Each structure stands twice: as structure tokens, then as C-alpha cells.
Amino acid sequence: MTPLASYLLVAALLFSIGLAGALTRRNAILVLIGIELMLNAANLNLIAFWRFGPHPEALTGMMFAIFSIAVAAAEAAVGLGLVIQIHRHAKTTDLDAMNRMKG
Amino acid sequence: MAETMDQIFVLLKHWIVGLLPVTVQPIASVLLSVVAIVGFFPALFALTVLLERKGLGRMQNRIGPNRVGPFGLLQPIADGIKSLTKEDIVPLSADATVHFLAPVVLVVAVFLGFAVLPMGRNMVLVDMDASLLFYFSIGASTELSVFMAGWSSRNKYSLLGAMRAVAQMISYEVPLLMSSVAVVMMTGSLSLVKIVEAQNHYTWGLPHWYIFTPWGFAGFVMFAVAATAETNRSPFDLPEGESELVAGYFTEYSGFKFALFFLGEYLAMFSISGLGATLFLGGWSAPFSFMTWVPSWIWFFSKLMLSIIVFIWLRGTLPRMRQDQLMNFAWKFVLPLTLLNLFVAGLWRFLGNGWERWVVCSAILIVAYAAMGKVGMRREHFGPRSYHYAE
Amino acid sequence: MSGMFFLISALAVGGGLAAVLLKNTVHCALALTLAFAGLALLFLQLDAQYAGFAQMLVYIGAVAILVVFAILLTRGSETPKDGVYSRNWFAGLVIAAAVFAMLGWAVLQSTSVLPHETAEPVVTVQQIGIALMGRYVLPLEIVALLLTAATIGAVIVAMHEKEGAK
Amino acid sequence: MQETISFTPQLTASPIAEMLWLVPAVPIVAAGIAALLKQPRRKLAATLAIGSMSFSLLFSLFAFAHVLAGWTHGLAIRETVNITWFQVGNSQVELGWVLDPLSAVMLVMVTFVGLLIFIYSTRYMEHDENYTRFFCFLSLFAGAMLGVVIANSLLLFFMCWELVGLTSYLLIGFWYYKPSAASAAKKAFLTTRVGDVFFLLGMVWLFSQTGTLLFYNNGAGSLESNALLLLLSQHAALGLTAAGAIGLLIFAGAAGKSGQFPLHVWLPDAMEGPTPVSALIHAATMVAAGVYLIARVYPLMQAGALAGGTTTPLIVVTWVGAFTAVFAALIAVAQNDIKRILAYSTVSQLGYMMAGLGMGGVAVGMFHLITHAFFKALLFMGAGSVIHGCHDEQDIRRMGGLKSDMPITFLTYGIGMLALSGFPILSGFWSKDGILEAAQHWSVAKTPFYMLVFGALLTAFYMTRQVAYVFLGHWRGHGTAHESPNVMTVPLAILAFFAMALGLLGTPAWPWFHAFLEGRSTRFEWHILVEPGLLGLMLTSTAVVLAGIFLGLKIYGDRSPKPEAPDVLEKFAPMPWRWLRDRLYVDEFYALTVIAFYTWWARVADWLDRKVWGGAVASVASVFRGWAHLNRFLDANVVDGSFDKGCDEISSSGGLLALLQTGRVQTYLRILALAIVVLTAILIWSSRA
């Protein structure tokens, strides 16, 4: 059976990929995508630790993951709503172009 | 005898698996079931198409297909051959990969859905603990395929159709889930097998199907509505409303891919009817205690076919809705009622076994239905409407 | 069994990479769903059925669709003329790499102390439900509140300034 | 005089005392509701205000009756209800209300006069489009004032006090579109604030010393013997005891509210508000609050006084009061605005009250407060009716001969004026006599007595002058004056009745009021009236008053019909007249000292901000800019593309140092990620070590 370390490594990889995406892409939506990836990586960590932890029956890690999934959904909804609104306002989703409070 | 008839497929499978070397047996049994499913439902699909065409024909004072074979029975085969041999056109500007992947994803997803449906006693491919959740999470991915189809073929009709379809599916997925959550509450399990078993009792020869309770009935009605919309069937078939956008998201599809979409649609219809039957109509359990000798799978499939017939009948009868009406209906009527239905189910659970719970629950639901009809369905939501064009 | 793991994680990582690297935004979104699916499978690998399905339902069913919608609404699908990468992509890349190095190092540092395989936990959905309604009922309520607020907020934020255009 | 067997104190709270909080609560709630009303709901707003006020009046009457019953049975009722508001460490802050003769009398007065004024304003304000807002403010004000009255904790007192200040600000500035009104409101607010700061200081000091702010708490209150002894044992600077110092601080607050000399400037300007407001604020309630405060904390003021002796705070109170009385009366002589004259007379009367408190004790001052409340309200409302009748004309030189045009107003106003100037057997006479008598017997000095007598003369004089200007002679205004409607005259009549009759409660022969407040029994003793000392005093004051009135009539009896004609006294003595007319330049003085200082200080601060800090920031920024320039230079000179990128990063991170606020999301994200890296590194190292 796969050891915990490999799961953690995969999670770390996904996390950094997401981070890279969030850091390098121009498009706000893609930044959001990167953030989603990072969240998922975190969830993977949680689940893995729950599975390998001493008390899986306590369900703590799993609950954490489930809640974070729910929160992530909310975050995505609001984030994308904001992006759409910004696009309406500034006619762009280019983050480099969006560095002023006034449009 | 009845026992063997009931379990015939299971026995058959065991017998075949028994012939194979032990090492491959687990894989083989799974494969067998898969093959059975993958083989059986397309056949059913063929039959259904014929049935639909004939039925519609009758409803429209036509005869329907009657040239190929006796009573046109071979029509499906002809159709199949035609669609297989047809040229497969991919628009130049289309996004070839996605355009190709879309129907595949759809069909795969829909097929996965069957894996958890108990089609008879001990006749379920995987009896997992969260099978209902699995079903819905798979169903969620069909929307994606629809979108892929619509977006990839670079065609405004396709895109509009896809948008409509996705919006509609998402809006109706909520009531679909909610109405089945009531059942889950009562059964205390997400496993479809357990749900069927919970309904498989009889008092005075009558079954304990959930449809025979106030909340169950309301839930079933709303489930049916949501399912119709989920499968883009008339009267909710705007996404492929040929009068508005040629054929919705598979305008640009032809030949085998089109056939796949067609197949996918019908399979979705089957699986969702199967789910409805499982949740509310007691799955494979017999309608009367004295008919339990009839094999369980017969019951399941008869229920399934019954609801298919209802689908066809609706399609032949009802006019198509308008997009805003559709949405209003989903969010302002069905969803609130399903939520209320959850509450009523809870009430039912805690009101004890007396006759009061019948009165109370039915009263609440009827009043709510009437009130919602009065308030939520007012004319300004459904009457003629002024169109604002995209600015 | 391990082979399975590699397959799945390859799927997830590949999806993630594609989601980050592809030029066409919609492709990115689709690749993202791929990554999500891979992650869900990983959850199943870890015997977290419920979490896995929830992941699938929420991410593939809702978030991916949302992203796609957002892309179409913001015309993000056509690639901008001045490249898809931001001005300082280099720094971003470096930093991301640094983060990965750091995390990986941390993991490898601690392989020895990490807990080893325990017996496969038998967690039924029922237990989860009971836990949700019992120990975790307060977080559940809060999350419910949050979701409501988020829904309303999203609707208000994304709503047209002038009413009408339905 | 009367035998002084003190009554047995009675402490347990009766149901009526338990529910006393309703008295302020109801008007405040009414105000809250009125605040939610839309402008056109005028009737409803007025009904709410008047209804709530009459409820309070009813309840206050019950409370009064309760106390009275107790008094007749020989009980000195003092029922307190205290609640712990919150706990700070081990000392807890308490609020509470008290029902004793003092608060009972005050309650009845405030609610009664207030109600009359409310009714009066329904008509006076009827053409104002902010009717609802007006009544909202009015009832809020009344509620706050009632809160002040019933407060049993200095803290609660202070809260309501501040609320009164706020609402007075709102009411004076009710016609905020008039710049004069707006500035007057600001002035009132700020000037009273000056006093309140001292008040707050005193309060904090009191709390730090005694650990409680309750007045009465079954022996644990701050006005009860233990606390007072404790305070007396403490010694502050200048040979004052803590009690004395706190008393002085509190008096500063009181002086601010009831316009004693240094802080009186806001009161005349406050006349910019609608006349009912002037009546409410400057007759019945707000200005009385200061006097009431002194009366309330009298034990503190008096602490350490030997029998018949006096204390530093009381002496200060007396002198300030006496001075204010004369000072304001002098100014009032030379004013031409009908309401301003009344305002200054209010100031001087408040001076009388203070002096009375300082010399004669609670009862004397309070008695004058009550009587004054009635006749001053009467005068203000009469003035309002005059203004109403003369089409919003306020300059008395443009009036005259109204005697025939508005008879009821003239009659009532005349009564009020006589009462104010202390015409025999009218209420003002008795209350003022009480003060004069106290002054006569004051042990410290006789000067206040003469000052007050002179003040009486002036009062009679300027009131006569005003009446002569307004009601006698011939009409000098434009248009024709008309009598006001009943809604306005009836309250006048009622008040007039009380202005006449109320004095009889406090004649030396039957000092019921004093007895009631101080918890003694009393009975008729005619012979006191003919005791030589008192008789002489009464005769002198009568003579003074008559002299004043006579002078007034003599000088202003036949006013020339030309409004522009200079005042008689002006011709007689132009220079001092101008001083008086310009209110002895107090405002100008403040403008030259305090305000000038503030503007100067503000300029200094501005300069500091601009030059010093701004310069510092600018220099830092320039340093960073130089750094960024350097980077750009390096950048330009390095050719290799990837290395170029790297330098680009460095420069952009240099820029990032210069101004962290790039507004670029990804910059922030990058910093975040870096932080993660660093923190993880630290974590691992720390765990390894």
C-alpha cells in the first residue's frame, strides 16, 4: 500500500502547480483556478492524514476536508461573481491591467 | 422455481464465472455485469426509439414507422446502420478534441450511473454505501459533456443550446437532489439497495412504497418534473428546441457521434427513471404481496418502461416551455416545495404511527401547493414578457 | 495497488499542469475538471468514499461549470494578444518552485516520523451523518450560513446594474 | 422658626418607584417611533409626543402623590432602585434611579411645563415641513431631561445630561439652513462641553475615591456619610479636601449647562431655535439641569461644613451666581431682541438660583427654580405668541401697542413679567425673597446681598422696558398684529395662573415647599410675616421692584413711533450703552483668546504635518526611487535576456520595497508564497534543532 509520504508529495506538487498558475497567469479566472487547485491539494493532505492518522474513526480530517470543500464552493461562487463584475466594469480580466481602485 | 426465475441472471453469471480460472474470477464477474449492462440498455434504447416514434405517430394521427420489417419492428436496426455509415462531419473551426470527447464523456457518465441501480434482488453491480451520492456526482459530469459539445462546435446555436441545457440542468438538479434527500432521511441510508429493502414490506397486501405517503407522493411528483428537465425531455426540451435553435448543442454533430448523443439521452432517461422507481416505487419489489412470485427484475423493468411511456406521452401532449418560465418554475415553485417536503418528511417521521400524520402532512402539502400556485406562479412570471436584447 | 496510485496521481498532476499551462482558457477549465476527478479518485483510494463523491459533486458538478460560465461571460476564451502569462511570470515560477522544494523537503525530512499504514477504517455514511449532526453541528450551521451568504453575495455582485435583462 | 425634627428615612422601594424608569423611557420610545415616521405623518408624530408626555405627567403625579403621602405620614421618602450595569475588575459600575421629594417635584414640573409647551408647539410649528422631526427631538429631549431628574447614579446622570446636550444641539440648530442657527447650535454644544469635561473629571475622581457613582445606596452611596467622610479625609491641592475639589469640578459642569458667568455665552445665541424650544430649554429643563445637579449633589457640596457654616464650593457657587445675576441683568437692559432679553434674564435668574443654593440650601434654590420655570416658560411662550402675531418679527423696536391687538397675550405676559420682577405676592416675589433673606443672613459676606438687590432692580427695569416697548405706545411694525389661536393662549393662561399662585407654597409664613424638600413638618405661622427683619426685607424688595417698574415706565412709557429712534438711555450715556448692547464683549474676548489660540495651534499642526512628516516621508520615498533608478540603470546595461528578466524582478522587487501597494493581486500572492517558504524553512529548522 502506498505510504503517506507519496500522498503528501502529490499534494505538495499539486499545491505548487496551483500556486504557479495563480502567480503566472494573466487571466483572473485562471488565477482562481490555481487557487482551487491549491485548496484541493490541501484537502488531499487532510484526507491522507485522516486515513493514516491514529484515530480515523474520529473523522476529524475527513470533516475538515468536507467543510473545506463546502467553503471552497462558496469561495468559487463569490470569486467568479467578482471577476464577472470586474469584467463588466473594466472590460478586462487581465490582472496586470487591474492595479487601480478606480476603473 | 420462482426463486430461480428471480435470481436467474445472478445464477447465470455465477455459472459462467465458475467456468473460468480462479485468478480472473473477480475481474470476470465485474466484466460480465458491465457487459450485460452495456449490452442490454442500448437494445432497450432501440426498442424505446421505435416505441416513441410509433406512440408519437399515434398521438399525431400518424401510423409511424411501418415499412422496415413487420410493423416497422426492424426500424431501429435500419437507423443504427444509417447513423453508423453516415459521414462524420467535424466543422473546420471546431475544437476537434473536445468535439470528439463530448459524446464519449456523456455516454460513459450515463453508463456509470447504472452501476449502482439495483435492477432486481441481488442484481446490483456495486452496492456501495453512498451509491445515491455516487449517482448524482456522476450525473453532474453530464452537464460538462453538454457544455463541451456546445462550446467545441463553434456555432452559436450549439453554444446557446449548451448554455440553456447547462443552466436548466443545474437548476433542476437541486430539486432532484432535495426530493430524493427526503427518501434518504426516511431510510437513513444513501445505499439504494437499503432504500429498496426499506420499501419491501407489506401491510394488508399493500407495499410500503414511499409514493404511498404524502411526502413521498409530493416528492415523486417533483422528482418526475425535475427528471424530465434533467433529461431535457419535452416539455423542458428547450436546449434542443428545433424551432428556436436548430438542434441545440448537437447541431454540429452527425453520424455516429450524433447517435452517441441520442443514445446518451435515452440512457439518461432510463437511468433516471430507474432511480425514480428505486426511490419512490419500491424498486424491484412487487406491487402486491401475492405477486411476489413474479421475478423482481420484471417489476423493476416494468416500472422503468412505465415511466418511459409516461415520458413519451408527455412529449406527445405538452407544449414547450419558455426559458424564463422554466427557470421561474424551478426556483420559485419546485425548489420551495421540495424544501417544504423535507420538513414534512421530518414531521412524518416524528408524528408517530397514528392517522394524524396523514392528515397533518397532506394538509400542509396541499395548502403549500395551492399557496405557491397562487403566489409564485403569478402572471407576471409566466405571462407574455418584454424581451431585452443583449446590450 | 501502487501502480493504480501512480496512474491516478499522474492523472491529477497532469490535469493540474494542463490547467495551468494551456493557452485556451476553456481547455484549462476542462483540464481542471480532469485534475478534480483525479483528486476524487485519490480520495477513494484513501477509503474516503463520501469525501470523494462530495468532491466530484461539488467541483466537477458545480465549480467547473461555474468557471466555464465565468469564462464565457467574460469572453476569456479568446487569448489576449500580449501572451497569457503575466509580466512577472518568471518570479512566480521561481517562487512556486521554491514552495514545492520547501514542502517536498519538509515531507522527506519527516518520512521517518510519519504514521504508517493503519487498518482500513470502516466509515459508513451514517457515521459521518451522525458526526455532522452531533460533534460538528456548529460548523455545519456556520457553513450553511456561509453558503447562503455566498450565494446572495454572488448573485448581488454578478447582477446587472440595471434591472430587466433576464 | 419651625422645629426641625427630621423625618425617619424610608428606604425600601415601592412598586411606583420600581416603575419610575417608565417616565423617561416612554418619551424616548415615542421619539424613536417618531424618528421612523415619514414627514407627512404630522398628526401622528404630535399625538405620539403629547401622548407620551401626558403619560409621564400622569405617572409623575402618581409618584409625587406617593411621596406626598409619605411626607404627611412623617416619612422622608427616598426610594432607590439600583442595577449593576457591568463589572470592571472587582469594582462594578451601577446605574439606578431615585424617588425622593427633590426628584418628585422636579418630575412634576418638567412634565407639566413640557406638556404645555408641546401643546403650544403643535400650533406654533404647524407651518414647518419638519414637524415630525421637531416632535421627535422634543420628546427625546424631554425623555433625556427626565432621565437626568430621576438618576440616582452620577453616571446615569451624566449620560442623560449628555443626551440633553445633544438634543439641545439638535433643537437649537433645528433650522439648520440658517447659518446663524447652525453656528448657535455648535456654540451651545461646545460651550457646554467645556463644563462637561470638568464634570467628567469630577466624576472619575469621585469614582476612584469612593468606588461607586450611586448617590444613595443604603449607606454605600457616594453622597452618604461614609463616602463623604472618606472624601473629607483625602486632601487635594490648595488646602481643598477631595470633597471640595470634586464639588468644584461638578459645579463647573453645572455652570456650563446653566450658563453661569464664564460659560453663559451660548445661552443667548441659543435663541436661534424655535421659540417653544427656547421655552423648553431655557425655562423648564436644560438650564435648570445645572441647578438641579448642584441640588442633587448638595451633600457633597456641603460636606465638611460646620453647623451654619459653609464650604469652599458653596462660596464659589454663591459668588459666581451673584455675579452672573447682576452681569446678565445689566446686559439684558440694552438688548432689542425680545427673546434675547428673556435669555439674558434667564441667565441672571439662574445666577439667583445658584446664589440661593450657595447661601440658603437646596430648598431656596429649588423653589426659585420651580417658580422661575413657570413664569419664564410663560414669558417665552408669550414672546412666541407675540412673534407669531407680528409675522416673525423679533425686534422690540418694531413692535408696540400690542396691548389692544393681543389682549390675552398682554395680560398673561404682564403677569409673567410682574412675577419675574418679583412683584409682591406673585410667585417670583416669594422665591426671590427667600434668596435675599438667605443672602442677608449669609455669614461670609454681605456683598452678594447688595448685588442681588441691585439685580432685582435691574430685572424689574428691563422687563418693564420690554413690556413698554412691546405692548405700550403705538404700533411701529409693518402689517397688523393679530391675537394667537387658543391652542397657544390657553397654555399661557394656565402658566399665568401658576405664576401667580405657585408662590404661596413657599411663603415664609408657610414654607411648605422647603419643609417638603427637607423632610420637616410645617404649619401656618402668620406672625413670621410681621417679624421686623423679614418685614423690612420684604418692604425693601417691594420698594426696589416698584422703583424699577416706575423707572421703566418713566423712561419708556411714551416711545416715539419711529422704530429707528435711538434708545433713551443711549442718548443719556452712549458709551456704556454700547458696551452693554455688545454684551460686554465676552464673545469677542473668547474670539481673541481661546478661538485664536485654537486656530493658531491648528496652523502649527498643519505646518508640522506638511513640512516635517511630509518631508520625512518624501525623503524616504526619494531614497527608494533612487534605488529603483539604480536598478533600472543596471537593467539597461545588462543584455542577456533571461538575466535581464532577473534584474527586472529585482527592480520590480525594489519598487515593491518603495511602494508595497502595487495594487497587483499577484504581487501580493507572490509575497504570500515567499512568506510560506520562509516560515516553512524556519519551522523545519526549529524542529530539527
C96 CA to chain D: closest CA distance, Å? 7
Query: Cα–Cα distance between D271 and B215 in angstroms, integer?
Result: 72
CA closest to B145 among chain C residues: C30
Q: Which residues of A touch C97 (CB under 8 A)?
A: 16, 20
Touch D-C: 3+ C-beta pairs under 8 A: yes
CB-nearest to D674 from C86, C90, C95 is C95
CA atoms lying within 13 Å on the CB side of residue B275: 33
In tens, the pLDDT along D589-611 reads 777 777 788 888 888 888 887 87
Return the residue matching grid coordinates 462558496.
A74
Structure-block grid coordinates of residue D456 = 432685582
Residues A28-45 have a mean pLDDT of 88
CA closest to C109 among chain D residues: D684
> Does residue A56 sit within a domain?
yes
Q: Is D608 near chain C, with CB under 8 Å?
A: no
Structure-block grid coordinates of residue D538 = 420684604
Contact A95 D666 (CB under 8 A): yes
pLDDT of residue A100: 60
The segment with the largest mean pLDDT, out of B5-9, C81-85, D359-363, D685-689, is D359-363
C108 CA to chain D: closest CA distance, Å? 11
The answer, yes or no, to whether residue B390 has pLDDT greater than 60, is no
pLDDT band at B391 (very low <50, low <70, confident <90, very high): very low
Return the residue matching grid coordinates 403566489.
B375
Contact B129 C64 (CB under 8 A): no
Which of C27, C50, C65, C74 is the best residue to mutate to test the A interface, defined by the most A CB atoms within 10 Å of its own CB? Answer: C74
Q: Is C88 near chain D, with CB under 8 Å?
A: yes
Instruction: State the DSSP H helix or E strand holding residue B202, giving kind and residue range, or none if neither.
Output: strand B202-203
Residue A25 DSSP symbol = B
Confirm if A30 and C25 have CB atoms less than 8 A apart: yes
pLDDT band at D560 (very low <50, low <70, confident <90, very high): low
CB-nearest to D665 from A19, A31, A100 is A31
The answer, yes or no, to whether residue C109 has pLDDT greater than 60, is yes
Q: Which chains share 3+ C-beta pairs under 8 angstroms with B?
A: C
Contact B388 C165 (CB under 8 A): yes
Contact C33 B129 (CB under 8 A): no
- Residue A69 has φ and ψ, to the nearest 5°, of -60, -45
What is the domain-level CATH number for residue A32? 1.10.287.3510
Q: How many CB atoms lie within 10 A of CB B286?
A: 18
| Cα angle for residues C139, C143, C147 (degrees, 5° grid) | 175
Write out the DSSP string of B58-76.
HHTT---S-SSSGGGTTHH
The answer, yes or no, to whether residue D2 has pLDDT greater than 50, is no
Residues B13-38 have a mean pLDDT of 84
Which of B25-34, B100-109, B373-382, D293-302 is predicted with the least confidence, judged by mean pLDDT? B373-382
In tens, the pLDDT along C27-55 reads 888 899 989 989 998 888 888 888 888 88
Share of chain B above pLDDT 70, in %: 94
Q: Is B170 near chain C, with CB under 8 Å?
A: yes
The answer, yes or no, to whether residue D6 has pLDDT greater than 60, is no
The answer, yes or no, to whether residue D475 has pLDDT greater than 70, is yes
Side chain identity, residue B68: V
Residues C45-72 have a mean pLDDT of 85
Contact B324 C166 (CB under 8 A): yes
Residue C85 DSSP symbol = B
Residue D13 DSSP symbol = P
Beta strand B206-207 with B202-203 is antiparallel
pLDDT band at B32 (very low <50, low <70, confident <90, very high): confident
In tens, the pLDDT along B111-148 reads 888 888 888 887 788 888 888 888 888 888 888 888 88
Contact A81 C97 (CB under 8 A): no
Contact A29 C71 (CB under 8 A): yes
pLDDT of residue D4: 42
Contact C56 B173 (CB under 8 A): no
Instruction: State the DSSP H helix or E strand holding residue D81, giving kind and residue range, or none if neither.
Output: strand D79-88
Q: State the pTM of this model.
A: 0.53
The answer, yes or no, to whether residue D636 has pLDDT greater than 80, is no
pLDDT band at D57 (very low <50, low <70, confident <90, very high): very high
In tens, the pLDDT along C2-16 reads 788 888 989 999 999
C110 CA to chain D: closest CA distance, Å? 9
Contact D684 C96 (CB under 8 A): no
pLDDT band at D561 (very low <50, low <70, confident <90, very high): low
- Pairwise pLDDT comparison (D214 vs D282), residue with the higher score: D214
Q: Is D664 near chain A, with CB under 8 Å?
A: yes
In tens, the pLDDT along D253-274 reads 888 888 888 788 888 888 888 8
Return the residue matching grid coordinates 389661536.
D485
Please give the span between the terminal C-alpha atoms of chain D, in angstroms, as a whole number: 93
Q: Is D670 near chain A, with CB under 8 Å?
A: yes
Q: Which residues of C touch A95 (CB under 8 A)?
A: 86
pLDDT band at B323 (very low <50, low <70, confident <90, very high): confident
Contact C88 D681 (CB under 8 A): no
Q: Number of CB pairs < 8 Å for A and D?
A: 24
C128 CA to chain A: closest CA distance, Å? 7
Query: Cα–Cα distance between A19 and C99 in angstroms, integer?
Result: 9
> Does residue A44 sit within a domain?
yes
pLDDT of residue D663: 63
The answer, yes or no, to whether residue C164 has pLDDT greater than 50, is no
Touch A-C: 3+ C-beta pairs under 8 A: yes
Share of chain C above pLDDT 70, in %: 85
- Helices and strands in chain B: count of H runs, count of E runs: 14, 2
Query: Cα–Cα distance between B341 and B182 in angstroms, integer?
Result: 7
The answer, yes or no, to whether residue D1 has pLDDT greater than 60, is no
Which of C95, C109, C111, C113 is the best residue to mutate to test the D interface, defined by the most D CB atoms within 10 Å of its own CB? Answer: C95
D649 CA to chain A: closest CA distance, Å? 13
The answer, yes or no, to whether residue B208 has pLDDT greater than 50, is yes
> What residue spans define the domains of chain C?
1-78, 122-166
| CA dist C62 → A93, B173, C36 (Å) | 21, 11, 12
Average pLDDT of chain D is 82
Provide the number of structural domains found in chain A: 1
The answer, yes or no, to whether residue D92 has pLDDT greater than 60, is yes
> What residue spans define the domains of chain B?
89-376
Q: Is A93 near chain C, with CB under 8 Å?
A: yes
C1-78 is a CATH 1.10.1240.10 domain? no
Residues B188-198 have a mean pLDDT of 86
CA closest to C118 among chain A residues: A52
Q: Is C109 near chain D, with CB under 8 Å?
A: yes
Owning domain of residue A32? 3-97
Query: Cα–Cα distance between D45 and D31 in angstroms, integer?
Result: 9
Which of A15, A16, A17, A23 is the best residue to mutate to test the D interface, defined by the most D CB atoms within 10 Å of its own CB? Answer: A23
| CA dist A9 → B263, B350, C97, D450 (Å) | 42, 49, 13, 99
Which of A17-31, B87-101, D631-645 is predicted with the least confidence, judged by mean pLDDT? D631-645
Which residues, in sequence order, are CB contacts of D12 under 8 Å at separation 6+? Answer: D79
The answer, yes or no, to whether residue D307 has pLDDT greater than 60, is no
Which residues, in sequence order, are CB contacts of D531 under 8 Å at separation 6+? Answer: none
Structure-block grid coordinates of residue B50 = 421505435
C85 CA to chain D: closest CA distance, Å? 12
Query: Cα–Cα distance between D30 and B7 in angstroms, integer?
Result: 80
CB-nearest to D670 from C91, C103, C105 is C91
CB-nearest to D664 from A19, A95, A101 is A95
In tens, the pLDDT along D166-221 reads 888 888 888 888 888 888 888 888 888 888 888 998 888 888 888 888 888 777 77
Q: Is C86 near chain D, with CB under 8 Å?
A: yes
In tens, the pLDDT along D111-124 reads 998 898 888 888 88
pLDDT of residue D689: 58
